[in-house]
Structures are given as C-alpha cells and as structure tokens.
C-alpha cells in the first residue's frame, strides 16, 4: 500500500521544524535589539571619552582660587637674587585664610587732637598686630567736635575719608588729615572742600574724577551723621574709644599704653581661639 502524502499528524517530523522556525522568528527582534544597544553604548563610550579628554585639558578654575606663587629657584653663583614678581597665570592655588578672632573697633574724630594723639601713639602697635593675622581693625568716624566747637570740619573730613574709602584709600587719606589737623580744635580749617581735595592728591592713587564730586555732593555725610548719632546714644564717652570684640577698653586716655593694649588683644585672641577649639558636647539621646 502506498504511503499517504496527506498532512502530518501531530506526532510527525514536520511539526518540530515548524516550531523551530517560529522560535527563530521570535528571537530575531531581540538579537537586533542587542546589536543596536551595543552600537549605542559603544558610541556613548566614545563620546564620553571625548568629553573626559576635553575636561583633562581645559583649565576650569574653582571659585576662590588664586594665582600660585612661583617656585623659587636659586640664582647663579655671584649674582643677586631677582626681585620677587607677583604671581600670574592660571589660578591654581586654593587659599585657606586664617580666621580673625579679634575685632578692634576704634572710634575717632578727625578734628579731635586726642584722636590724633592716640593714632600717633598706637599706630605702630596696630600695624604690628595686623601682621599677625589675628586682628582686624574697624574705624568708626564721629563728629562730636563740631557740636563742641562749632563748624563742620569733622563732618567734612569724615565725608572725605569715606569718599577715599570708595577707592580703597581710607588709611592713606586719613594719614594726610592727621597731618593737616589744626593745632587748635576751635579752628574749622578741615571744613574746606579744597583742602580735602588737596589732601587726596597728597595721599596718592585717588581719582579726582570721582573723589571731587563725592566731596562736592556730600555723598557720605548722612553716613557720618548716623555714626555720630549711634555713638552718642551708646554713651561711650569721649573719643578715642577702643573696643575689643564689642567690649570697651577702660582707661584709654589715662592708664592704657600701647604695650598694655597689645597684651589685651593677644589675650583676647587666645581666649577666642581656645573657645573655638573646645568641642561642643553632644547631648545624650533619650532612651
């Protein structure tokens, strides 16, 4: 009997072939997806490597960085050491500046002979203390002598000093004011705007184009008035007044000396440093 060529039964050999073909068809999309992902991630790796290479060569300075000082080199034998040059180039150094534990506040009146005498006596020790990095000075200009003697010399001088401060030349300008202060406080010579402009030229590095209008328009007289009002309200006494971290020093005009003030400031600096170094106790957790 001839074999039948009809459709295969479920137990025949044709059915598995059909199933295998169907399985390959189902797997093909996944294979294509794997290849596509490999292409994508391979491309990403190339792009990432390119970005990283750019970051390695581009100089992006962190905030607060400063130009690093050049590495010193020994001069050739028999030659003088070269003059130091200011650092330049990329800002490669990250500064860690010391804290300033002591703030010395000095109340002064530019028309007051006592304020001038104090500055002349204590100026050197103030400069010495500044170099330690443990002290910062804050000057408060007041105008009590105008009420005491009449006139506006203290106010005009204080306004001019603030105008100089606009150009970071406060100390240099005030030094010229002390030199020009009249021996007799009843003289109102400091009320002269032309004198203030002359002192600015002597102080140097003060641009008249902005300083002169500041004088003429009295830009900072309101600031000086407010300083005097608060000083009077605080009832701190006559100038000069010195405060260490907000606490007034006694006997400024009688028993205080530069050496004593120096010792007081150093003692206060040590006290604050020790206080900052004391670890804060952690309260016990409730059980």
Q: Describe the strand order of the beta sheet including 241-244 as a list of residue ranges.
A: 135-141, 102-108, 241-244, 247-248
- Please give the residue that has the higher pLDDT: either 273 or 259: 259
Torsional class of 43: left (φ above 0), alpha (ψ -120 to 50), beta (otherwise): alpha
Contact residues for 94 (Cβ-Cβ < 8 A; gap 6+): 62, 64, 65, 66
- pLDDT per residue as tens digits for the range 132-147: 888 999 999 999 999 9
What are the structure tokens assigned to 136, written together?
A: 């910062």
Q: What is the CA radius of gyration of the chain?
A: 39
- pLDDT the model gives residue 284: 47
- pLDDT the model gives residue 65: 77
Q: Read off the pLDDT of each residue in 81-88 and give the average, rounded to a whole number.
A: 58
| Helix, coil or strand: residue 263 | helix
| Helix, coil or strand: residue 62 | coil
What are the structure tokens assigned to 251, written together?
A: 């006997």
Q: Read off the pLDDT of each residue in 62-75 and give the average, rounded to a whole number.
A: 69
Buried b (16+ CB within 10 A) or exposed e, 133-158: ebbeeeebbbbbbbeebebbbbbbbb
Cut 0.85: pTM above it:
no
- Residue 77: pLDDT over 80: no
Mean pLDDT of the chain, nearest integer: 82
* Four-residue CA torsion sign, 17, 20, 26, 27: negative
Percentage of residues of the chain with pLDDT beyond 70: 69
- Residue 250: pLDDT over 80: yes
- Comparing CA positions, the residue from 190, 90, 186 lying closest to residue 147 is 186
Torsional class of 168: left (φ above 0), alpha (ψ -120 to 50), beta (otherwise): left
Instruction: Name residue, tokens 């059909």.
Output: 18
Q: Read off the pLDDT of each residue in 248-254 and give the average, rounded to a whole number.
A: 96
């Amino acid at each position: 009997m001839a074999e039948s060529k009809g459709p295969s039964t479920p137990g025949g050999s044709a059915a598995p072939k059909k199933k295998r073909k169907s399985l390959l068809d189902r797997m093909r999309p996944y294979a294509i997806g794997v290849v596509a992902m490999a292409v994508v991630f391979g491309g990403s790796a190339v792009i990432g490597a390119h970005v990283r290479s750019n970051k390695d060569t581009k100089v992006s300075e962190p905030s607060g960085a400063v130009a690093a000082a050049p590495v010193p080199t020994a001069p050739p034998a028999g030659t003088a050491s070269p003059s130091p040059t200011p650092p330049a180039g990329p800002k490669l150094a990250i500064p860690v500046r010391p804290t300033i534990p002591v703030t010395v506040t000095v109340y002064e009146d530019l028309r007051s002979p006592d304020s001038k005498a104090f500055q002349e006596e204590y100026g050197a020790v103030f400069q010495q203390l500044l170099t330690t990095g443990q002290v910062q000075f804050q000057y408060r200009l007041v105008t009590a002598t105008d009420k005491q003697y009449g006139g506006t010399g203290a106010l005009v001088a204080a306004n001019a000093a603030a105008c100089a401060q606009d150009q970071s030349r406060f100390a240099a300008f005030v030094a010229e004011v002390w030199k020009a202060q009249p021996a007799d406080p009843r003289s109102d010579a400091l009320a002269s705007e032309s004198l203030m402009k002359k002192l600015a030229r002597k102080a140097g590095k003060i641009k008249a184009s902005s300083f002169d209008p500041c004088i003429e328009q009295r830009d900072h007289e309101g600031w000086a008035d407010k300083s005097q009002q608060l000083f009077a309200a605080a009832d701190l006494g006559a100038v000069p007044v010195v405060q260490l971290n907000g606490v007034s020093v006694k006997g400024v005009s009688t028993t205080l000396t530069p050496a004593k003030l120096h010792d007081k400031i150093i003692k206060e600096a040590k006290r604050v440093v020790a206080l900052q170094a004391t670890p804060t106790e952690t309260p016990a957790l409730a059980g």
